[in-house]
Structure 1
Amino acid sequence: MSSSSPDHSTTSASMLCVEDASEAISDHPSPPSLAAVWQPYDDDSDISELIDAEARHMASADYLRRCGDGSVDVSARLDAINWMLKVQAFYEFHPVTAFLSINYMDRFLSLVSLPVRSRWAFQLLSVACLSVAAKMEEPQVPLLLDLQLFQPTLLFHPKTLRRMELCLLSNLNWTLRSITPFHYLHYYLTNLPSSSSSFNRLQLLSAASDLILASTRVIKFLEFPPSAVAAAAVLCSAGHHKPHVFHHRVNHEMVRRCHQLMEDYVLDTCPASTTKATRGHPPPQSPVAVLDVSTCASCDTPSSAHPQHDPPNKRLRSSAPDVRQP
């Protein structure tokens, strides 16, 4: 299924309308099951359409080069990703919400140059990206003030964040329904050999989801399209050491290289990864469990920089921007 840009008037109205304080609710809803999160793509034609369109939802071709030559502050990018994943885990957002927020950030940074070593700009962008992604995917979204967890040095005003959201949307040309690795998971898992793993499909889906999110921390994965990342994650989750042909349109060499990279940079460096699951240990308790920064050798951010405390107000609301409460 190919992606199309949302209607501007409808999207802007839903994202930027004024929030009524009475709409906030106090109880945190239970996240839906994994089976309800992703709509399955079962037909070969659906997968072909996704592959045809996925390049339009990736960062520009020279973005990886700019990350390598210092034009993009990759350390600030990693900090932003770590923050997004921590907030996603805290609020139990769907995994695709976190991936979308990182996708928005990379696409924006491939078009707009932020000042190097300007951490406040990256923090502002990361909050805006996560906010927009949550509005796209979550039935309930925290207030903008409550979304700013684990950032003790800066707290952006909602009006500032709404301006940043508009800047983000404009630069992305309002193309928010990005094709992600999660679009392919159901199809790939369905096409795995029945004897490929002792775990059921839901457990493999959870494990592959964790691997996909963990891979976002490694800059080299930007080279690969979502179809290859999803294939590599499924293969790693199932304990396969050789690429499997899921679809004739999926680039076999891309999958092989991505699979090797995932084994080298994700499985081997994160002790909480799904390698343990394929070796007889229980799979992750939650599909939205994210590898903690402090346990991942590939992440340099100390855990002390992210205090694990509840916000003073963990209210959630419908998809609309927030205002300060009197």
Structure 2
Amino acid sequence: MSHHHSASSLSPSAAAVNQDSVIDSLISAEPHHSPPPDYLRRLHRRHVHVTRRQDSVNWILHAHAHFSFRPLTALLAVNYFDRFLSTAAVSFDGDNGWEFQLLSVACFSLAAKMEEPEAPSLSDLQVSEPRFVFEPKTVRRMELWVMEQLNWRLRSVTPFDFLHYFIFNLPQSSSFNHQSFLWVCSDLIVKTLRVIDFLGFRPSVIAAAAVISAAGEGVVIPESYYAKVNKEMVRSCHRLMEEYLVDTCPWGNNGVRKLRRSDEPPASPDGVLDAAACVSCGSCSDDGVLVPATFSGYQDK
């Protein structure tokens, strides 16, 4: 959800009040743009086919990298995917892999249309040599079903809506290359998509934790930083990032955190139920990014 403001017409105090009201509005909207709280529990209990979901997320991220799309596009695609699966009207048993592949393509296509200046055609979008390819009319029907189940709420609230707010609220003494810092924060946020336990945190909490993680241990976070979020939830999310997403050799040449490569799945049995399953089914691209080993669908290539 993008918001643009004319800061030049506001005094510093008025701008701060205006920013606070925008953040409050976004936080209030978060539950309407996220899967329900029981969705993560259903994944852990395998009520939702967790391996198929991980295959789908891996494909979305691989396609996202293939087209060099914006970070927000990946978040939107997976957000649509999870919100759709979490609805009571949807029941995918996982036996027919083509259902999940079709859903992946539809969600990725919708996200690209929402965020990218030029979205590829539905035929060109189906990269990574999937076993089955869907006709454009089939994908369009799936897109319509997704939009209906999401109540047409495609302009989702994501961690990126809160990123600048939390960066601004870091101690003023913090010194780092802004562009490099922003890139590390963005990359951390995208990498959370691979670990299902991050579904237990709201977008604002993920953004707050990503900024803390990117800033590193040398930055003392003031209490005021947590004015809009639950401090313990942010700390819990931060610990998850440190354990699963941040390299053990934490500092790169630019003075910002060094992240794990995308092909290094975290080691926790809870946090990476899916990543472990995906590694066992065995298919990686040449650049090491995990991609689905097999997909089913309408049209066998």
Of stretches 187-196 and 226-235 in structure 1, the one that deviates more from structure 2 is: 187-196
Q: Secondary structure at the match of 2:124?
A: helix
| Residue matched to 1:211 | 188
Matching residue's letter, 1:210: D
Rounded Cα–Cα distance in structure 1 between residues aligned with 2:36 and 2:95: 22
| Residue matched to 1:115 | 93
Q: What is the CA distance between 1:152 and its match in structure 2?
A: 2.8
Deviations 1:89-144 (A, max 9, x none): 12111100100100000100100221124321111101100100110111100111
Tell me, yes or no, if structure 1 residue 248 matches structure 2 residue 227: yes
Tell me, yes or no, if structure 1 residue 85 matches structure 2 residue 54: no
5 Å matches for 1:1-326? 39=4, 43-111=19-87, 112-196=90-174, 198-240=175-217, 244=222, 245-267=224-246, 271=247, 279-282=251-254, 293-297=262-266, 299-300=275-276, 301=278, 304-306=283-285
Rounded Cα–Cα distance in structure 1 between residues aligned with 2:23 and 2:29: 10
TM-score (norm 1): 0.73
Q: What is the CA distance between 1:282 and its match in structure 2?
A: 4.1
Rounded Cα–Cα distance in structure 2 between residues aligned with 1:39 and 1:282: 29
Structure 1 residues 209 and 38: CA distance shift in structure 2, 3 A = farther
CA contact (8 A) 1:71 1:116 kept: no
Matching residue's letter, 2:98: W
Rounded Cα–Cα distance in structure 2 between residues aligned with 1:38 and 1:266: 29
Deviations 1:287-322 (A, max 9, x none): xxx9764344453445844367xxxxxxxxxxxxxx
TM-score (norm 2): 0.79
Which consecutive residues of structure 1, in runs of 5 or more, have no partner in the other structure? 4-36, 285-289, 309-326
| Residue matched to 2:296 | none
Q: Secondary structure at the match of 1:51?
A: helix
CA contact (8 A) 2:177 2:255 kept: no
Structure 1 residues 57 and 90: CA distance shift in structure 2, 3 A = same
CA contact (8 A) 2:191 2:262 kept: no
Structure with more relative contact order (C-alpha pairs < 8 Å, separation 6 or more): 1
Q: What is the CA distance between 1:88 and its match in structure 2?
A: 1.1
Deviations 1:247-272 (A, max 9, x none): 522111111111111111222xxx5x
Rounded Cα–Cα distance in structure 1 between residues aligned with 2:245 and 2:129: 26
Q: In the comparison of the two structures, how many residue pairs are matched?
A: 260
Matching residue's letter, 1:238: A
Structure 1 residues 185 and 174: CA distance shift in structure 2, 3 A = same
Structure 1 residues 118 and 195: CA distance shift in structure 2, 3 A = farther
Which consecutive residues of structure 2, in runs of 5 or more, have no partner in the other structure? 6-14, 267-271, 288-301
CA contact (8 A) 2:189 2:207 kept: yes
Deviations 1:71-102 (A, max 9, x none): 11111111111111111112111100100100
CA contact (8 A) 1:94 1:138 kept: yes
Matching residue's letter, 1:83: W
Rounded Cα–Cα distance in structure 2 between residues aligned with 1:176 and 1:291: 30
Structure 1 residues 89 and 291: CA distance shift in structure 2, 3 A = farther
Rounded Cα–Cα distance in structure 1 between residues aligned with 2:182 and 2:4: 13
| Residue matched to 2:291 | none
Q: Alignment RMSD, CA only?
A: 2.6
Deviations 1:176-211 (A, max 9, x none): 111000000111111111333x42222111101111
Rounded Cα–Cα distance in structure 2 between residues aligned with 1:81 and 1:248: 33
